[in-house]
Amino acid sequence: MSARQVETHASIPHPRATTVLFGHRDEETALLHAYRSGRIPHAWLIGGLQGIGKATLAYRMARFVLAHGDPLAADVQRAKNLQIDPSDPVARRIAAGAHGGLLVLQRTANERGVMRTVITVDESRETISFFGSTAAEEGWRVCIVDTVDELNPNAANALLKILEEPPRRSLFLLVSHTPGRVLPTILSRCRRQTLRPLSAADLIEAASQAAKLAIDDPSLVAACQAADGSVARALTLLGGDTFKLHQRTEALLAALPHVDPRELHALGDALGPSDRVALAAFIDSVDRWMSVRLRTDDPNANLPRLARLAEVWEKINLAARDTAEYNLERKPLVFSVFGMLAEATR
């Protein structure tokens, strides 16, 4: 479990139904120019932090391509962006998850109704029938993978096979929160598009619309300041208790490698039993702290320490996934996380 698995805030519409894109104008223009050139790369990896609009951009591109099947048509050549009218039949069908030209690979619930932590190989193999059978609709077929980080090894290999021999008029849009962890063989077959965190102005505007708050609301401003350019994170932090939990976790992380057992007990109590949002917020704070530590201009300067942190990050992700999936006690996870981090940062 990592930042990508933070619970989606109820205020945020699903990307398939989101018609407004905040920021990322250059990246949107690059996709548009590539499409209307008539020689668009068949696969794109859209990377960046969780909650900044990667999936929104992917669905925006999918809508445009499926609504405008001829890249050389006059309306495509005149287009200034990828926006299409929300009332367009393509937009309505994609919003309803009912467009035959769009396949979305994402995590699904298991037989117990619990959300899986990975995208399985059976789900990935849907691409074979989707691209290999007679088209239900004429024109392009688009596959969005949200996210490629969550493909298990077999699912990643199944996707790779079709990326190696892409069908005609096919487009793959792979969303990734951690592009550095994507299989090199998949990366090599994609045009990379890296999205930066939203600017302060774009973030506040997006969060204010989603939360239906004034842009100068103090709680909104405070949440946005701590959100690292992520709308999803800002909305998660808007809850008073969640923001306090984030601040408490940040303070403990800042004190590493020293840890106060009393504070760890208090943090474990604050997570509460069965509180998935609080658990996700805790792991999100840890995940972002780790990500910052692993981003360095000169990785060779502290290579052993960085290697230890990367190994610990994997262990924390596994422990967090188990805690969430099996609804385990939170306090042992808190002590385990900070124990591993203290050892790795000494």
Give a yes or no: residue 37 inside a domain: yes
Structure tokens at 283: 């792991």
What is the CATH classification number for the domain harbouring 160? Answer: 3.40.50.300
Give a yes or no: residue 230 inside a domain: no
Give a yes or no: residue 231 inside a domain: no
CA 68 to chain centre: 27
d(C-alpha 152, C-alpha 53), whole Å: 24
d(C-alpha 152, C-alpha 150), whole Å: 6
Same domain, 173 and 263: no
SS (H, E, C) the chain: CCHHHCCCCCCCCCHHHCCCCCCCHHHHHHHHHHHHCCCCCCEEEEECCCCCCHHHHHHHHHHHHHHCCCCCCHHHHHCCCCCCCCCCHHHHHHHCCCCCCEEEECCCECCCCCECCCECHHHHCHHHHHHHCCCCCCCCEEEEEECHHHECHHHHHHHHHHHHCCCCCEEEEEEECCHHHCCHHHHCCCEEEECCCCCHHHHHHHHHHHHCCCCCCHHHHHHHHCCCCCHHHHHHHCCHHHHHHHHHHHHHHHCCCCCCHHHHHHHHHHHCCCCHHHHHHHHHHHHHHHHHHHCCCCHHHHHHHHHHHHHHHHHHHHHHHHHHHCCCCHHHHHHHHHHHHHHHHC
Same domain, 257 and 181: no
Give a yes or no: residue 173 inside a domain: yes
Same domain, 147 and 244: no
**Total Cβ atoms within 10 A of residue 131:** 19
Give a yes or no: residue 216 inside a domain: no
In the prediction, which pLDDT does 7 show? 40
Same domain, 178 and 262: no
Number of domains in the chain: 2
Same domain, 173 and 293: no
User: Which residues make beta-bridge pairs with 173?
Assistant: 44, 144
Same domain, 25 and 157: yes
Q: Please provide the size of the chain in residues.
A: 346
In the prediction, which pLDDT does 11 show? 54
- Beta-carbon contacts of 104 under 8 Å, excluding residues fewer than 6 positions away, are 16, 97, 143, 144, 145, 146
Structure tokens at 169: 């008029």
pTM of the full structure: 0.80
Same domain, 160 and 15: yes
Averages of pLDDT over runs of 10 residues in the chain (346 residues) are: 40 84 96 97 94 95 97 96 96 95 91 83 91 65 95 94 92 93 93 94 93 91 89 82 87 93 93 82 86 62 74 87 86 95 88
Same domain, 170 and 269: no
Same domain, 186 and 244: no
**Total Cβ atoms within 10 A of residue 331:** 17
φ/ψ of 193, rounded to 5, equals -130, 105
Same domain, 169 and 266: no
Same domain, 267 and 190: no
d(C-alpha 60, C-alpha 227), whole Å: 24
Residue in 341, 278, 265, 267 with CA at minimum distance from that of residue 310: 341
Give a yes or no: residue 227 inside a domain: no
User: Which residues make beta-bridge pairs with 44?
Assistant: 173, 191
Give a yes or no: residue 139 inside a domain: yes
In the prediction, which pLDDT does 148 show? 96
Domain that holds residue 284: 239-345
Give a yes or no: residue 79 inside a domain: yes
Same domain, 257 and 155: no
